[in-house]
Structure 1
Amino acid sequence: MTSSRPTRGRGTPQPDPSPLPDRKDLIARMTVLLYTLGVLIFFTAILASIGLHELGHMIPAKKFGGKVTQYFIGFGPTVWSKQVGETEYGVKAIPLGGYVKIVGMLPPAAADLADEVEVDADGNEVFKVRKSNTGMFTQLISDARAAEWELVGPEDHDRLFYRFPWWKKVIVMAGGPSVNIVIAFLIFAGVFATYGNGSDNVVETTVDEVHACVVPPSEDGRACTAEEVQTSPTPAYAAGIQKGDRIVSFNGARVTDWDQMQGLVRANKGDKATIVIERDGVEQTITTNTTVTPRFLKSGDTETQEVGFLGVSPESHARTGGVFYTIGQMGHMTVDVAKSLATLPEKVWGVAKAIVGVEERDPLGPVSIVGGGRLAGEVASHDEINVQDKTVSLLMLIAGFNFFIGMFNFVPLLPLDGGHIASALWEGIRRGWAKVFGRPDPGYVDAAKLLPIAYVVASALLVMGVVLIVGDLVVPLHLES
Structure 2
Amino acid sequence: MMFVLGILIFFVGILFSVAWHELGHFVTARWFGIKVPEFMVGFGKTIWSTKRGETEYGLKAIPLGGYVRMIGMIPPARGELLGSSRRTGPFQGLIDDVRRQSAMDVRPEDADRQFYLRKPWKRIVVMAAGPIMNLILAVLLFAVLLMGIGMNTGTTTVSAVSECVLPADAATTSCPVGAPPTPAAVAGFRPGDEILALDGQEFSRFDGEELRAAIQRSTGPVVVTVLRDGQRLDLTPTPIRNLVASVDDPTQFVEGNFLGIGLLQDYERQSLGAVFVEIGDVVGRTGQAIAELPSRVPGLFGSVFLGEERDVNGPIGIVGVSRIGGEVLEQEIPFVAEASLLLSLLAAVNISLFLFNLLPIPPLDGGQIFPAIWEAVKKRIWRLRGRPDPGPVDVAKLMPVAYVVAMVFIVWSGLLLVADVINPVRLFQ
Shift of 1:144: 1.6
Aligned equivalent of 1:360, options 273, 298, 309: 309
**1:266 maps to which of 196, 213, 216:** 216
Over 3 Å counting, the alpha-carbon distance change for 1:306 and 1:337 in structure 2 is closer
Q: Contact (CA 8 Å) 1:217, 1:296: kept in 2 or not? A: yes
Displacement of 1:52 after TM fit? 2.9
Partner Cα separation in structure 2 for residue 350 and residue 93 of structure 1: 29
User: 1:145 aligned to 2:113?
Assistant: no
Residues 189, 413 of structure 1: alpha-carbon distance in 2 compared, 3 angstrom cutoff? same
CA distance in 2 between counterparts of 1:299 and 1:357 reads 36
Query: Do residues 377 (structure 1) and 332 (structure 2) align?
Result: no
Equivalent residue number for residue 213 of structure 1:
164
Q: Map 1:241-252 to 2 at 5 A.
A: 241-252=189-200
Shift of 1:161: 0.9
Which deviates more, 142-151 or 278-287? Answer: 278-287
- When structure 1 is superposed on structure 2, of 462-471 and 322-331 the one drifting more is 322-331
Give 3-state SS (helix, strand or coil) of 1:203's partner.
strand
Residue type matched to 1:93 in 2? A
Letter in 1 for 2:198: F
Q: Match of 1:310?
A: 259
Give the C-alpha shift of residue 472 in structure 1.
0.9
Check conservation: 2:212, 2:247, Cα contact below 8 A: no
One-letter amino acid of the counterpart of residue 55, structure 2: T
Query: What is the CA–CA distance in structure 2 between the aligned matches of 1:407 and 1:255, rounded to whole Å?
Result: 40
Q: Structure 1 residue 38 and structure 2 residue 6: aligned?
A: yes
Deviation at 1:172, TM superposition (A): 0.9
> Counterpart of 1:335 in structure 2: which amino acid?
G
Task: Name the residue aligned to 1:350.
Answer: 299
Cross-structure match for 1:47: 15
| Cα distance, 1:302–1:277 mapped onto 2, change above 3 Å | closer
Q: Is the 8 A contact 1:250 1:273 kept in 2?
A: yes
AA partner of residue 171 (structure 1): V
Aligned equivalents of 1:261, 1:48: Cα separation in 2: 43
Aligned length: 427
Cα deviation, residue 246, structure 1: 3.2
One of 368, 373, 385 as aligned partner of 1:425:
373
Residues 370 and 209 from structure 1, CA distance in 2 versus in 1: closer, same or farther, beyond 3 angstroms? same
Larger radius of gyration: 1
Q: CA deviation at 1:416?
A: 0.7
Distance 1:439 1:246 in 2: 77
Percentage identity across aligned positions?
38
Q: Counterpart of 1:68 in 2: which secondary structure?
A: coil
Query: Per the alignment, in what secondary structure is the counterpart of residue 168 of structure 1?
Result: helix
- What is the alpha-carbon distance in structure 1 between the residues aligned to residue 329 and residue 254 of structure 2? 42
Work out whether residues 345 and 464 of structure 1, in 8 Å CA contact, stay in contact via their aligned partners in 2: no
Kindly report which structure 2 residues correspond to 1:20-419, keeping only aligned pairs within 5 A, or say none: 31=1, 34-115=2-83, 130=86, 133-135=88-90, 137-197=91-151, 201-219=152-170, 222-225=172-175, 227-228=177-178, 231-255=179-203, 257-269=207-219, 271-298=220-247, 305-382=254-331, 384-419=332-367
Superposed displacement of residue 232, structure 1: 1.1
**Whole-angstrom CA distance in 1 between matches of 2:146 and 2:210:** 26
TM-score by length of 2: 0.88
Contact 1:173 1:420 in 2 (8 A): yes
Trace 1:401-480 onto structure 2 (pairs within 5 A): 401-435=349-383, 440-480=388-428
Whether the aligned pair in 1 keeps the contact of 2:327 and 2:428 (CA below 8 Å) is no
Q: Is the 8 A contact 2:245 2:251 kept in 1?
A: yes
Q: Cα RMSD between the aligned structures?
A: 2.9
Is the CA contact 2:48–2:60 (under 8 Å) kept in the aligned structure 1?
yes
In structure 1, the gaps of 5 or more residues are 1-30, 117-128
Secondary structure of the structure 2 residue equivalent to 1:56: helix
Over 3 Å counting, the alpha-carbon distance change for 1:80 and 1:455 in structure 2 is same
Give the counterpart letter for 1:178 in structure 2.
Answer: I
Aligned partners of 2:382 and 2:271: how far apart in 1?
45
Query: Do the aligned partners of 1:212 and 1:224 also contact (CA within 8 Å) in 2?
Result: no
Q: For structure 2, which runs of at least 5 residues remain unmatched after alignment?
A: none
* 8 A contact 1:368–1:468 mirrored in 2: yes
User: CA offsets per residue over residues 144-196 of structure 1, 9 Å max, x none?
Assistant: 22221222344333222112111211121122222223333333322333322
